[in-house]
């Protein structure tokens, strides 16, 4: 038996389908973004919109936001004045006679109401070690995206990634740094063998189109460690080198039948943001990337797993306009930072190409630019990080804890045909190099980095 709650009249109709024993959910209706949302109440606001009276201006998030036109209509649901409960059996004929709205909302409903458990702000998860000379040791981990090589040669249904860990030391006064990997220097094959011995091989049978475990980001969120697969769109909770699916991110606006291509992840205002590379390079549009291009959306996830699908097309276009990139040129983002203290975004594009995409040209379009952007995307500033190297592009970056979000550790990757190389570099937000770019190893592509 299904219980259908229809709210309002011709102007506002929405339904939520509940199990027969789930009637308590009606009590949990919220003013906006809750269990019942009307099509009239969902609007995609332009980048220049103003904040709602008494509310927060979230234009800085670049979000397709929820806006309540008339709060009283929502509140009246609780009073029951406009709520009609109809019982519909599972008989197909009976169900087909029911008038159910067909509007597809571009927001996912939460699995359960917001938890009262406070957000866990622990970061990093391992307590740093402070020395008498003022230097501090942090544990750091990087995660591999092997692309096609992630598929197990012996067990075709299994996919593999590798975790590599080490100790990063920031010197007193934040004047420099160094990193020592637990395994020392080794070849790619040796790194895989050592990872297997140390239990740092991460395997899963979750795949899409014979591909999986192509982990592009690793992030600490709500006191837990999460990794994202850019093929399945699954965000996994990483528990002792075992991946447990947490949420599945559908592509684009959340209505597409394939997984979101997760490339970067950050925490902003106690929400997890997961983004893609933004470039619509396979099907470039004469007038610029389409609003519906799946790579132009960003996912915002609450600690309870509630997913919002955010249209970032205006924000990505603002970045491209700042860089002077016009179609068929493109910019690819895989390393993004958000500073809670400074309320600024930091974008380190992996590729900037003023020309059209070709497989031959693409690997040689990497750069050394960091774009500092105000929260409302009204101010932009470029900062050069070291010397330009068209072969190595940024794939991940994190602020060093305890440095007031002014010191950054970043990964730079070379990917030409089947040749891979991973490097690490440390710099401050003014562009001064604190640790000269050094190679991690050749033959294995590490795309995600996090302090753990």
450 is in an annotated binding site: no
Those residues whose C-beta lies under 8 Å from the C-beta of residue 319, and which sit 6 or more positions away, are: 331, 333, 347, 371, 373, 380
Q: Tally Cβ neighbours within 10 Å of residue 363.
A: 16
Contact between 381 and 369 under an 8 Å Cβ cutoff? The reply is no
Q: Is 214 annotated as a binding residue?
A: no
3-class SS of residue 316: helix
Q: What are phi and psi of 395, to 5 degrees?
A: -120, -15
Q: Is 359 annotated as a binding residue?
A: no
Check: CB of residue 342 under 8 Å from CB of residue 405.
Answer: yes
Do 287 and 345 meet the contact criterion of CB atoms below 8 Å apart?
A: no
Q: Which residues contact residue 437 at a Cβ distance below 8 angstroms, ignoring those fewer than 6 apart? A: 386, 392, 412, 423, 424, 425
- Look up tokens 């750069």; give the residue: 367
Closest by CA to 113, choosing from 308, 310, 274, 302, is 302
Measured distance CA(233)–CA(225) in Å, rounded: 16
Rounded to whole angstroms, how far apart are CA atoms 213 and 144?
Answer: 9
Give the residue ranges of the annotated binding site.
216, 263, 334, 447
Give the residue ranges of the annotated binding site for Ca(2+).
216, 263, 334, 447
């Amino acid at each position: 038996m299904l219980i259908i709650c229809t709210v309002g009249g011709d102007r506002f109709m929405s339904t939520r389908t509940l199990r027969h024993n789930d009637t308590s959910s009606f009590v949990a209706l919220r003013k906006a973004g809750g269990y019942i949302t009307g099509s009239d109440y969902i609007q995609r606001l332009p980048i220049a919109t103003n904040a709602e009276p008494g509310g927060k201006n979230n234009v800085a998030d670049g979000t397709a936001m929820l806006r309540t036109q008339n709060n009283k209509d929502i509140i009246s649901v609780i009073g029951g004045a406009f709520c009609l409960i109809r019982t519909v059996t599972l008989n197909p004929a009976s169900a087909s006679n029911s008038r159910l709205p067909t509007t597809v909302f571009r927001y996912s409903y939460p699995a359960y109401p917001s938890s009262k458990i406070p957000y866990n702000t622990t970061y990093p998860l391992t307590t740093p070690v402070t020395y008498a000379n003022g230097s501090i040791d942090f544990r750091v981990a990087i995660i591999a995206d092997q692309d096609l090589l992630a598929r197990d040669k012996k067990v075709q249904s299994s996919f593999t990634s590798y975790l590599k860990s080490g100790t990063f030391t920031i010197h007193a006064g934040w004047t420099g740094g160094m990193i020592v990997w637990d395994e020392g220097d080794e070849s790619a094959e040796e790194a895989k063998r050592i990872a297997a011995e140390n239990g740092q091989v991460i395997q899963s049978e979750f795949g899409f189109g014979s591909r999986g475990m192509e982990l592009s980001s690793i992030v600490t969120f709500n006191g837990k460690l999460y990794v994202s697969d850019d093929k399945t769109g699954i965000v996994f909770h990483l528990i002792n080198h075992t991946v447990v699916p947490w949420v599945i991110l559908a592509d684009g606006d959340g209505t597409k039948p394939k997984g979101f291509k997760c490339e970067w992840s950050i925490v902003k205002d106690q929400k997890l943001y997961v983004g893609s590379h933004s470039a619509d390079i396979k099907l470039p549009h004469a007038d610029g990337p389409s609003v519906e291009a799946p790579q132009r959306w960003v996912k915002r996830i609450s600690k309870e797993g509630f997913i919002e699908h955010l249209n970032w097309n205006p924000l990505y276009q603002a970045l491209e306009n700042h860089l002077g990139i016009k179609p068929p040129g493109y910019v690819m983002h895989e390393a993004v930072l958000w500073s809670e203290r400074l309320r600024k975004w930091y974008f380190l594009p992996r590729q900037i190409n003023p020309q059209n995409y070709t497989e031959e040209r693409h690997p040689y379009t990497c750069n050394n630019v960091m774009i500092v952007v105000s929260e409302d995307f009204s101010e932009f500033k470029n900062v050069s990080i070291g010397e330009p190297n068209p072969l190595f592009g940024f794939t991940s970056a994190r602020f060093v804890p305890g440095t007031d979000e002014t010191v950054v550790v970043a990964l730079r990757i070379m990917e030409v045909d089947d040749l891979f190389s991973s490097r690490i570099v440390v710099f401050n937000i003014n562009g001064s190099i604190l640790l000269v770019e050094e190679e991690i190893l050749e033959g294995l592509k590490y795309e995600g980095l996090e302090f753990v």
